[in-house]
């Protein structure tokens, strides 16, 4: 368990404990082989700011992993699904925790071959990958100012949350578009906030400001209405909560409910699941982007290998990597060039843990984070959270 301080507080659109802290927490995974290779991976904190839950879930499958051949990890992944009940009950939550194992096994495969993963997967389609800027909800003029700063830094896509008061959502979009001009892309995320009728009305009004995508406008479970919204508005729709798994991604495509899919290299047990979903989307002719749950350099390297390996990662992706003050990998933070990170070309994931940094940030976690559990933000005092998940019709 490690925690790395961030430049600014990251506040989730979901009112969760563990978000709103000033540090990025992760669980690092190391797999040792009998040949002396070490595969590294990174698992997210899957339960309310408690990394020990992720550790417990990883330890729960330890006996299935020990003594196995990492080259057979696709078979092993399905065995874990069967033994843990994920095959029967679904994969969310537990599969996220196990993502670090999948990552570490792929890292071993890359090290055995002496090649970065994207080359093993038959690529690169690109040598660098680009990401988008995240603007926290605020006064429209303040958001416009921040948008201009991001564009000056070289970011081409601006992202912010909508699904609050519709007039404020539109005012924010108008202010940001007016400040940055026609070129930068504006992507907004409703996190399922709108009813289908409200989505149609609000997106139609937003169209004037040329948003690149509207992310998850309606309930992810209601693909029929998501498809109907998509059919009726002149703005492309990006699936997110609807495409949290391979099966979810397939269902979005079957229902023609989105123009692009957002994947996560931790959904469905890691890079393996994300690669399957990216392939299905490619066959359907759809672009894909990666979601972030907050990751350090190991998880970021896995994302970059994924981006290089699939030709349909043509859009800017989500990350909070620019928010970190340091990293746990050798050399520290991977450097941004504008909004781009280079695809690592070392064996496996292409990055290595720095033992001194790992030790330092493990101690930081124990000293600063484990002893001070974050509290739930108050909806009454924080306007950021004054949202309606299902928008009611106007009175």
Residues lying near Mg ion in the complex (CB under 5 A) are found at 189, 215, 240
Q: How far is the CB of 187 from Mg ion (least distance, A)?
A: 10
Residue nearer to Mg ion on the CB measure, 189 or 316: 189
Residue nearer to Mg ion on the CB measure, 241 or 345: 241
Phi-psi region of 285 (alpha: psi -120 to 50; beta: other; left: phi over 0): left
Residue nearer to Mg ion on the CB measure, 86 or 226: 226
Residue nearer to Mg ion on the CB measure, 106 or 160: 160
Q: What are the backbone dihedrals phi and psi of residue 140, each rounded to the nearest 5 degrees, phi first?
A: -50, -40
| Residue whose CB is nearest to Mg ion in the complex, by number | 240
What size, in residues, is the chain? 395
Residue nearer to Mg ion on the CB measure, 189 or 212: 189
Residue nearer to Mg ion on the CB measure, 102 or 134: 134
> Is residue 25 within 8 Å of residue 365, measured between CB atoms?
yes
Q: How far is the CB of 238 from Mg ion (least distance, A)?
A: 8
Residue nearer to Mg ion on the CB measure, 146 or 189: 189
SS3 of the chain:
CEEEEECCCCCCCCCCCCCCCCEEEEEEEEEECCCCCEEEEEECCCCCCCHHHHHHHHHHCHHHHCCCCHHHHHHHHHHHHHHHCHHHHCCCCHHHHHHHHHHHHHHHHHHHHCCEHHHHCCCCCCCEEEECEECCCCCHHHHHHHHHHHHHCCCCEEEEECCCCHHHHHHHHHHHHHHHCCCCEEEEECCCCCCHHHHHHHHHHHHHHCCCEEECCCCCCCHHHHHHHHHHCCCCEEECHHHCCHHHHHHHHHCCCCCEEEECCCHHHCHHHHHHHHHHHHHCCCCEEECCCCCCHHHHHHHHHHHHHCCCCCCCECCCHHHECCCCECCCCCCCECCEEECCCCCECCCCECHHHHHHHHHHHHHHHCCCCCCCCCCCCCHHHCCCCCCCCCC
């Amino acid at each position: 368990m490690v925690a790395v301080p961030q430049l600014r507080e990251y506040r989730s659109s979901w009112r969760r404990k563990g978000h709103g802290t000033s540090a990025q927490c992760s669980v690092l995974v190391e797999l040792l082989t009998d040949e002396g290779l070490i595969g590294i991976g990174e698992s997210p904190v899957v339960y309310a700011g408690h990394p020990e839950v992720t550790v417990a879930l990883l330890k729960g499958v330890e006996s299935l992993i020990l003594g196995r051949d990492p080259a057979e990890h696709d078979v092993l992944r399905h065995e874990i699904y069967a033994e843990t009940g994920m095959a029967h009950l679904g994969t969310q939550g537990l599969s996220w925790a196990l993502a670090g194992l999948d990552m570490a096994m792929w890292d071993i495969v890359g090290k055995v071959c002496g090649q970065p993963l994207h080359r093993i997967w038959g690529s690169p389609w690109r040598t660098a990958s680009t990401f988008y800027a995240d603007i926290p909800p605020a006064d429209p003029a303040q958001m416009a100012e921040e948008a201009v700063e991001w564009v000056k830094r070289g970011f081409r896509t601006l992202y912010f949350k909508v699904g609050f008061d519709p007039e404020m959502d539109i005012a924010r979009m108008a202010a940001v578009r007016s400040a940055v001009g026609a070129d930068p892309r504006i992507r907004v995320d409703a996190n399922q906030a709108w009813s289908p009728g409200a989505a149609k009305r609000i997106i139609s009004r937003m169209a004037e400001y040329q948003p690149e995508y509207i992310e998850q406008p309606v309930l992810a479970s209601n693909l029929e209405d998501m498809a109907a919204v998509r059919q009726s508005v002149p703005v492309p729709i990006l699936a997110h909560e609807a495409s949290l798994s391979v099966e979810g991604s397939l269902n979005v495509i079957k229902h023609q409910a989105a123009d692009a899919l957002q994947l996560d290299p931790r959904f469905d047990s890691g890079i393996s699941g994300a690669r399957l979903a990216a392939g299905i989307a490619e066959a359907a002719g759809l672009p894909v982007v990666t979601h972030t749950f907050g990751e350090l350099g190991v998880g970021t390297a896995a994302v970059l290998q994924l981006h290089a390996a699939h030709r349909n990662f043509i859009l800017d992706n989500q990350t909070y990597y620019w928010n970190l003050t340091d990293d746990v990998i050798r050399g520290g933070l991977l450097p941004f060039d504008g909004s781009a990170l280079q695809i690592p070309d070392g064996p496996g994931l292409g990055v290595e843990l720095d033992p001194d940094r790992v030790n330092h940030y493990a101690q930081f976690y124990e000293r600063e984070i484990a002893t001070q559990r974050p509290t739930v933000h108050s909806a009454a005092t924080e306007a950021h959270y004054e949202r309606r998940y299902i928008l009611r019709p106007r009175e």
